[in-house]
Amino acid sequence: MGKPPSILVVDDDPEMRELLLDVLGNEGYEVAEAKDGTEAVLALRAREFDIILMDKNMPGPSGLDLLPGFRRVCPRSQIIMMTAFGDVPSYMDAVEKGAVEYLFKPFRMEEMKAAIVKALASKAGRGPG
Amino acid sequence: MRNLTTRLVILVMAALTIITGLFDYTRLVDEHARLLRVTQDDERIFAETFALAVSRNVRRGRTTDDLKDLLDEILVRPGLIGVAIFDPDERLVTQTLAPGAEPARSDELVRTALTTGKAASTTMASGSGRVLRYIQPFRWPGGRTGAIEVRQTLAGMEKEFRRAVRENIVSRLVLLALFVLSVVALTRWNIVRPIRALIEAARAVGRGDLGQRIRVNRRDEIGQLAEEFNRMATNLETAHDALLHQTGERLRLEGEVQQGQKLGAVGMLAAEVAHEIGTPLNIISGRAEVLGRFIDPEHPGRRHLDVILRQTERISGIMRALLDYTRPRRPALRPEAILPIIGRVADLLLERSRRSGVRIALDLPVGLPPVLGDADHLQQLFLNLLKNALDASVSGGTVQVTTGPEPHLPSEGRSGIVRGEAKGECLAIHVEDSGKGLTADQLNHVFEPFFSTKGRGQGTGLGLPIVDEIVRAHRGEIEMLSVPDKGTEVIVRLPLAQTATGGPTASGTADTQEAHEHAR
């Protein structure tokens, strides 16, 4: 457990990515970023992440479109989806496609940290595969 | 003659009277003739016998006095009023008369009998009724012919005949009366009563009481008619119910489609906006949170940070409300006193009304009947209406909240729009402002989403559509009236809670008074 957990942030908004990188880096996580699906795929080819924090709404393939592929490519990663508030139908969709957590924007940073801790705990519970 | 029984009775009576009358008349005529014949036969037999006796006495040369004695003896026979003997020369030999009887004289009839030697008879009128005369010739000494005349009164016979006629009439009348009674009873029980029942039922069905049925306990034509009527009523009722159901269903579907279309557009837009502002909001609040870690809670700058966080929360709240509008929850209707609700709304707007210098005057009497409503929805409704009224007013103006059936704005130059349709007893709440009013064209669009008469960025254009939704969900109606440069009046009519005990609660009254205090 010496190595800090790794997180890939996938969001098309640079300031949102910057915020998340700041906050999560400050928490001691090892954080990488991707601005869309293509970059995310490239990043996932390079290495494995414990957590993928992904926005639903992005230009090109949406977070929901990417979800099933990510689950195949890196089955051990825990995927947390982010979307605008009130988007209950895509929440159901995401859970079905294998997202472990779901955050409605705007969410509090504390909320996000709690979701990540929970996702890591459930990953640890399942074991390293 | 409108009555069926009367007509039937008169018809039957007339027919019966004519038939029995004719029958009785001929019968009585025959009877009279028979009685006369019998009397005549009687008289003839008697006269023949008597003639033989007289003939013998005359031939034996009896004196006139002897003959008179014989006649006197004979006269005691009942009905006989006179007996006379004529010689061959038509001279009256002797006669005996009952008291008051007309004396006999030789006449044409006597002469005929004497010359032909054949009996002759006739009836003639006399002082005491009709009299039957019978002339019987007999053998006179010397081969000649004499005659006797017997007179008999017909009074007895006539009396008997009259009695027979009387009895006949009485018996006929009794028979006729019985017949009429039975006809009346029969038609009443078998025709009039069931037909009246049919008429009543048909009237009831005509009035719209389609559940009307007739009890059928007979198999004749009237029974069949009643059965047909019942079948028709059942068919009508079924068709009516089906129509009602169809209409209700269609209206409901139409409403849902309309609502769906409208909410579809609004909802899509709302979701779009929510998506777009979700990320920037998150960046603001996230940065504020990050910043919060660097600033000591006691630091004076901390206050500004808290405001930023609170305001981002507020924006999310507004967006959530917008999303909620596109997915409205059904109101939970129950009896609600309207006063405490409006009182709370006035409380909420107190600061705003002070700032804009517009007074909110609640002029609602204590004891208004409760309406059937959802308190949260109604609060939203009046909040939107009062906000609009405040925004429309200029400083120094007043927003009036009143109740009553009639609009307060003068009808001159007034235009209006009504949404929804309230049925049954309603409570009408008026919200009036003294602003610059709306044109007829503006009024036509006020209930459309995103239509706003306020300045850019001041109104969402969703206030009145939400009000409209709430009023419809309460099965009430909303009327908006406006006179340019005079003001706008909104009348909300909400159905009363019929089963409620009535009257606002004690706390409701207190709330309202409090609201009054604040408003002043």
String of b and e for A7-42 (b: at least 16 CB within 10 Å)? bbbbbbbeebbbbbbebbeebebebbbbbbbeebbe
Q: What's residue A53's pLDDT?
A: 95
d(CA A62, CA B248): 43
Q: What is the DSSP string of B338-349?
A: HHHHHHHHHHHT
Find all residues with CB under 8 Å of B88, minimum gap 6, and list them: B114, B140, B144, B145, B146
* Partner-chain contact B286 A11, CB within 8 Å: no
Cβ contact B306:B348 at 8 Å:
no
Asked if residue B338 and residue B316 are part of one domain, the reply reads no
The span from the CA of B24 to the CA of B29, in Å, is 8
Residues listed for chain A: 129
Contact A83 B275 (CB under 8 A): yes
Question: What is the assigned CATH class of domain A6-108?
Answer: alpha beta
Do B143 and B260 belong to one domain? no
Confirm whether B353 is domain-assigned.
yes
Q: Would you state the pLDDT for residue B321?
A: 75
Q: The complex's ipTM?
A: 0.84
Output the six-digit token pair for B102.
């007309």
- What tokens appear for B307 in the block? 């405001």
In three-state secondary structure terms, B427 is strand
Mark which of B327, B343, B375 sits at the end of a domain. Answer: B327
Contact B286 A87 (CB under 8 A): no
Alpha helices in B81-215 (DSSP H): 108-116, 155-187, 193-207
CA distance between the termini of chain A: 16
Q: Residue A19 is nearest to which of B275, B286, B323, comparing CB atoms?
A: B286
CA of A84: which chain B residue's CA is closest? B275
Q: Which amino acid is at B510?
A: A
B340 shares its domain with B369: yes
Chosen domain end from B327, B359, B394: B327
Question: What residues of chain A lie within 8 A of the CB of B285, using their CB?
Answer: 106, 108
Residue that has been written with the tokens 């059936």 in this structure: B405
Instruction: Residue B282: list chain A partners with CB under 8 A.
Output: 16, 19, 105-107
Q: Which helix (H) or strand (E) segment is B353 a member of?
A: helix B350-356
Question: Could you read off the pLDDT tens digit of each residue along chain B, which spans 520 residues?
Answer: 467 778 888 888 898 889 988 998 999 999 889 988 888 888 888 888 888 888 888 888 878 888 888 888 888 888 888 889 998 888 888 888 888 788 888 888 889 888 898 888 888 887 767 888 899 998 888 888 889 999 888 888 888 889 989 998 999 899 888 988 888 888 888 888 888 888 888 898 888 888 888 888 888 888 888 888 889 889 988 998 888 888 887 787 666 656 655 665 666 677 677 778 888 899 999 999 888 888 888 888 888 888 888 888 888 888 877 776 665 556 778 899 999 899 888 887 887 888 889 999 999 998 899 999 988 888 888 988 998 899 889 889 999 999 998 888 888 888 889 988 888 889 999 999 988 888 888 888 888 766 667 654 455 566 787 788 788 888 899 999 999 888 999 999 999 987 444 444 333 333 333 334 343 3
**B71 belongs to a structural domain:** yes
- Residue type at B402? T
In this structure, the answer to whether residues B409 and B436 fall within a common structural domain is yes
Interface test with A, best of B263, B266, B269, B279 (most A CBs within 10 A): B279
Angle ∠(B189,B195,B196) on CA atoms, nearest 5? 90
Name the residue of chain B whose CA is nearest to A111's CA.
Answer: B286
CA angle, residues B413, B415, B418, in degrees to nearest 5? 155
Nearest CB neighbour to B320, from listed A13, A85, A110 = A85
Smallest CA-to-CA distance from B495 within B517, B474, B509 is with B474
CB contact under 8 A, A106 and B278: yes
Handedness of CA B410, B411, B412, B414 (dihedral sign): positive
Top residue of B263, B266, B281, B282 to mutate, by most chain A CBs within 10 Å, is B282
Option in B282, B287, B323 nearest A107 (CB): B282
CA distance B400 to B362: 6
Contact list in A for residue B320 (CB cut-off 8 A) is 85-86
* Terminal Cα distance for chain B, rounded: 79
Tell me which residue of B347, B434, B343 sits closest to B390, measured CA to CA: B434
Ranges of each domain in chain A: 6-108
Q: For residue A19, which residues of chain B lie inside 8 Å, CB to CB?
A: 282-283, 286-287, 290
The CATH number of whichever domain residue B425 belongs to comes to 3.30.565.10
Backbone angles phi, psi at B11, to 5 degrees: -60, -50
